[in-house]
């Protein structure tokens, strides 16, 4: 599955240790910390869902390396276009974790400030975010702004029409955009071999006239390198890139999903040793970049930082529907004003059955 994929952590140990030894300790620890923050968020969100404090939640357990690497490999001014499985990447741009957790509680406070963090609102229908990333990158190029954009997708997204239109348009106009496809081999219950006849999703890039690279999606260092290289190409005016990060969806599609209905759980266990946080920790220790105790402390701190966040999630006061109605347009149309929001026969007294 990983043939042709760039990897560092997958090298024979002496070679891996030697390669990693050339990395700065500061950057390596930063990547590890970002992954730990994402993991702590994800685990906390699942707990909050089990406690009934948030609704159904799409866990990203196992995708931390790709996500952390992608954010850290770009600059703060670059735009990110997430889907529902990357709701926490905005926290790596400084957004309080409370915000994306509120999203999953169904509270409008879950919408983050897109301009402050340069992270677009999540797109729920897969692949619909890809053309947006093309437009932002292309627009930046037209305006001579020094920025690139990156859009996330999964293997399933590559079957959607918007994937094709986005890739084609980006390549034609030379937009500085990175399509980061996390091939976790499952789109809910559909395996990747029923999604496409192409064995390597990266090969699809050739059809659009752009480079496609494969990378070990459980390797934060290799992911960081390939995103950096794609961003450098984009900044140099060499256009878009497609990155296929190969992984495996270690968890369910979401908290409401029951994977035992459709996949062999034993096969999944073969991928469990690739779990990226533990794998990174072992590599950092082996390479002498950090100690086990120090990395444990980083993990413990990130977990501790979110331990009581459920109380804050629950404490957020609900927003009235009248207030929400004023957020749809700049000038609120009459039908969304309080007197017209409901039918003419409605009165406040009617709310009490009067």
Residue 130 sits in the site that holds another protein (CB under 8 A): yes
Measured distance CA(322)–CA(333) in Å, rounded = 13
Residue 143 sits in the site that holds another protein (CB under 8 A): yes
Terminal-to-terminal C-alpha distance of the chain:
66
- The minimum distance between CB 110 and another protein, in angstroms, equals 10
Smaller CB separation from another protein, 315 or 328: 328
Q: Which stretch binds another protein (CB under 8 A): 7-15, 64-72, 133-141, 244-252?
A: 133-141
248 is catalytic: no
For another protein (CB under 8 A), the number of binding residues is 48
Measured distance CA(171)–CA(169) in Å, rounded = 5
- The minimum distance between CB 108 and another protein, in angstroms, equals 6
- Going by C-beta distance under 8 Å and a sequence separation of 6 or more, which residues neighbour residue 286? 13, 16, 17, 20
Two structure tokens written together for 1: 């599955």
Smaller CB separation from another protein, 82 or 252: 82
**Are 160 and 189 a contacting pair, CB within 8 Å?**
no
Q: Which stretch binds another protein (CB under 8 A): 2-10, 87-95, 124-132, 300-308?
A: 124-132
64 CB burial (10 A radius; 0-12, 13-18, 19+)? buried
- Show contacts with another protein in window 36-65 (CB under 8 A): none
- The minimum distance between CB 223 and another protein, in angstroms, equals 23
- Show contacts with another protein in window 190-209 (CB under 8 A): none
Residue 128 sits in the site that holds another protein (CB under 8 A): yes
6 is catalytic: no
Two structure tokens written together for 35: 């992954």
Measured distance CA(78)–CA(230) in Å, rounded = 13
Smaller CB separation from another protein, 88 or 283: 88
Per DSSP, helices labelled H in the chain are 13-20, 25-50, 64-73, 98-105, 114-117, 129-142, 161-173, 220-235, 265-269, 276-286, 292-306, 309-315, 321-325
Residue 99 sits in the site that holds another protein (CB under 8 A): no
For another protein, the binding residues (CB under 8 A) are 79, 81, 108, 111, 113-115, 120-121, 123-125, 128, 130-140, 142-143, 145, 147, 149, 161-162, 165-166, 168-169, 172, 324, 326-331, 333-335, 343-344
């Amino acid at each position: 599955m990983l043939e042709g994929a760039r990897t560092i952590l997958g090298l024979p140990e002496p070679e891996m240790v030697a390669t990693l030894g050339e990395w700065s300790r500061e950057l390596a620890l930063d990547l590890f910390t970002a992954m730990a923050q994402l993991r702590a968020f994800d685990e906390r969100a699942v707990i909050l869902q089990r406690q009934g404090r948030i609704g159904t939640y799409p866990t990203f357990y196992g995708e931390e390396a790709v996500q952390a690497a992608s954010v850290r490999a770009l600059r703060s001014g670059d735009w990110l276009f997430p889907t529902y499985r990357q709701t926490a990447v905005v926290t790596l741009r400084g957004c309080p974790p409370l915000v994306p957790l509120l999203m999953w509680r169904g509270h409008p406070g879950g919408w983050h400030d897109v301009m402050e963090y340069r992270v677009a609102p999540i797109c729920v229908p897969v692949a619909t975010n890809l053309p947006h990333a093309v437009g932002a990158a292309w627009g930046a190029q037209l305006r001579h702004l020094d920025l690139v954009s990156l859009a996330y997708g999964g293997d399933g997204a590559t079957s959607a029409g918007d994937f094709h239109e986005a890739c084609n348009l980006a390549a034609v106009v030379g937009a500085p955009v990175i399509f980061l496809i996390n091939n976790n081999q499952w789109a809910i219950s559909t395996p990747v071999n029923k999604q496409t006849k192409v064995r390597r999703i990266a090969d699809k890039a050739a059809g659009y006239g752009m480079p496609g690279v494969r990378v070990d999606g459980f390797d934060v260092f290799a992911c960081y390198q390939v995103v950096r290289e794609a961003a450098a190409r984009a900044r140099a005016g060499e256009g878009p890139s497609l990155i296929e990060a190969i992984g495996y969806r270690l968890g369910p599609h979401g908290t409401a999903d029951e994977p035992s209905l459709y996949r062999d759980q034993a096969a999944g266990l073969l991928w469990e040793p690739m779990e990226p946080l533990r794998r990174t920790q072992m590599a950092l220790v082996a390479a002498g970049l950090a100690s086990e105790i120090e990395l444990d402390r980083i993990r413990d701190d990130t977990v501790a930082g979110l331990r009581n966040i459920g109380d804050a999630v629950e404490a957020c006061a609900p927003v009235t529907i009248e207030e929400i109605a004023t957020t749809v347009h700049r000038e609120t149309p009459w039908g969304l004003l309080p007197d017209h929001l409901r039918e003419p026969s409605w009165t406040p007294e009617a709310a009490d059955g009067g």
